[in-house]
Structure 1
Amino acid sequence: MIKNKFKDTEIGEIPIDWDVKKLGEISNITMGQSPSSKTYNYEGIGEPFFQGRKDFGDKYPKITMWCTDPKKIGKKGDVLISVRAPIGDLNIAPINCCIGRGLAAISHNDLENNEFLYYLLKDSEKRLLSIYGGTGTVFSAITKGNIVNFSIPVPPLEEQEAIANTLSCLDGKIECKNKQNKILEEIAQSIYNEWFVNFNFPMKLIDENFKEEIGYKDAGGEMEFNEELGKEIPQGWKVGKLKNFFKFIKGKKPQKLFENYKNNFLEYLTINSFNSCEKQYGDPKNKVILKELDLAMVMDGASSGTLYYGKNGILGSTFSKIELLNNKFSYEYLYHVLRHYQKIISENTTGSAIPHTDKELVYNIKIPIATSKLQEEFTMISKRCRLQIIKNNIQNQQLSEIRDLLLPKLMSGQVRIPLNEEKIA
């Protein structure tokens, strides 16, 4: 049985067999340096380039830019930390990469894996901000000296590995389900594109005499030119504007929000709550309520035009709920219609300082309208994918809550992972 004994230190109580050290004593720190903008490209030439936190994901950044003349390199597995406003955000480098002045790369001196440092810094983020950033949410910068001299709790190496393995196992399960969700989304969208954009839906869905797996266009299905769209569509299909099938209902923020759940309250849905485990709750009275299979679109800000499938809660003020006007479309079918036009919607926002989704542009998009039979068949396929995605998201939320509950306890020594008991006081 492990008996915890603690001692007082400058960073609070820690187990008696742990040390307090400066981050620079156990790690190597590389501050980023931005190369010339002439060396940037989007064609995958050179090293992946991360200028700052804008490409950060849950744990790993998304590669959107490359650099042919990197000045500073973060190695695969290094912890990337944002050192310019807002400071403290963390990711792990998925590959050797160029890092700009908005980032620093941190690697452990004694462990091949930097997962422990990643989780240690996640747990220490508030303390880091309180020391070097003040009390707001936007800060100027932290220096290499700040990082080097930041005091941290240091368990024995074996325990560091055990802590990292425990937390990364939970994150690995979350990542696996996220990948599965992405595949399910791509499958459904690929089917939509094949059926309703390429018009190569299975012939047997409209002609029972067809037993072979052959598409409408491949089988020489009859097409007719439509002047409104300026292209050929399957014979018998109609054309309509999206405003005939749905309307936007603007979300509304509750007067008061609470960090903890209260009776009859619902989660307040913002972009952060969709993308992470951040939660606030409010009174649903006279608010726009979203359910799991409803659709919402971001109407204001940098993410304007982005679509989200529902999540039970009160819809935030930067969103609009998408409400069907009739039963001619299903939410499943409409979701993939709007995803098909996502780029057009996102690139044609209104407003100069703050982008806004152009509702009239969306309403006036003209689309070929498939037969009810095809829509129903597609809805069944897509809904199966969607329900599995919802199930995965619920499981991920539970895993995230377990991880976030364990993180401070493991990093403070309140919970210890059983190792060789003789090595732990």
Structure 2
Amino acid sequence: MRYRKPEELKETDVDWIGDIPEGWDTTKLKFQTTVNMGQSPPSDGYNKKGIGTAFLQGNADFTNKYPQTESFTDNGNKFCQKGDFLFSVRAPVGEINIADKEYCIGRGLCSISPKDVDSNFLWHYLHIARRELKAISTGSTFESVSSEDVKNLSLILPLLPEQRSIAAFLDRKTEAIDGLIQKKEQLIERLKEKRQALITQAVTKGLDPDVPMKDSGIEWLGEIPEEWEVTKVKWLVSKIGSGKTPRGGSEVYKDDGIPFLRSQNIHFDGLRLDDVVYIDEEIHEDMISTAIKPKDVLLNITGASIGRASLVPEDFPKANLNQHVCILRPRKENISPDYLHLVVSSDIIQNQIFAFENGTSREGLNFSQVGSLLVSLPSLAEQKEIVKQVREYEKNIFSLSPGIEN
């Protein structure tokens, strides 16, 4: 593939594109593709049993290329076909995957079906052109774009043979880069495993290897530092409670308003808001007892993501949540919120959760079980030091991640 000389270029009226080769055209995405905006099924239309069509609400189930989901619906009305591009229209706007089969798509996505453009060329092009949508995305806190925004995305169009040539060139180059990324991802995965081991060690044995130890009285926990105690979650929090589904279910979800968190938004490394939904102020006030507060620990108590937990940031706006997520509100005189999040994320709590799950016929924790989870507890001063050391280690891990994940 050769590069054009300046005299072989012409101006476009699209600022971020600039000059393009003579013989190329600029057009809009809607003239070369079919754009299909997603729509979420009713809240009672989801299942994890494989009944119906695989369902994607947003980009939470995206991978590098093909989505992976455990959700299904037999009550969907917006579908994409194998080979369509899946394009995120909610934060982060512009994430892209390829449909490897038919999916029902929710309101966080649209599908793009190529018509008069090489699909491989369009795959590479959309990764660059999404900057145009990011620039116009709306929402003061959570960005989103409309159907018209996507359809009017600027598209550069070489002749079809050159599209294929460009796509083949980029395939070769990206394949080499992807190999390097895979090696780095494997390194990060090993670091994350080490992080998990560090957290578990820190919240069960402390940071000082020479501190006197005592028998915890619990066989699977073993020895703990002499000054520590073993207690239950219910004695360390002022609230254990989940949210609920608002009256009307998904039909009352809005394009903006008060964030309404669900299990797919809860992750160990923080809240992910790519496919967050919203409720209005009136519904939020009606559900005020389940409103979250800064420094709450949120714990998934049902489904495939059971046990996953997030710490609500100090500056997070007012929000609510559904019945699949449990609020743990720390008594700050007894336990640091950050330390509680570490403990819940550690193997000491995760193993207890999975033991409860294996002992029941369904995937789910009740509040009594959550309250009975055992915690090894140091002084507040030592809790803060443990959090400080772990967070410092996390910085080293997560500083490697953005270049791979974006």
**Which TM-score tier does this pair reach, normalised by the shorter chain?**
0.3 to 0.5
TM (normalized to structure 1)?
A: 0.45
- Point out the structure with max Rg over C-alpha: 1
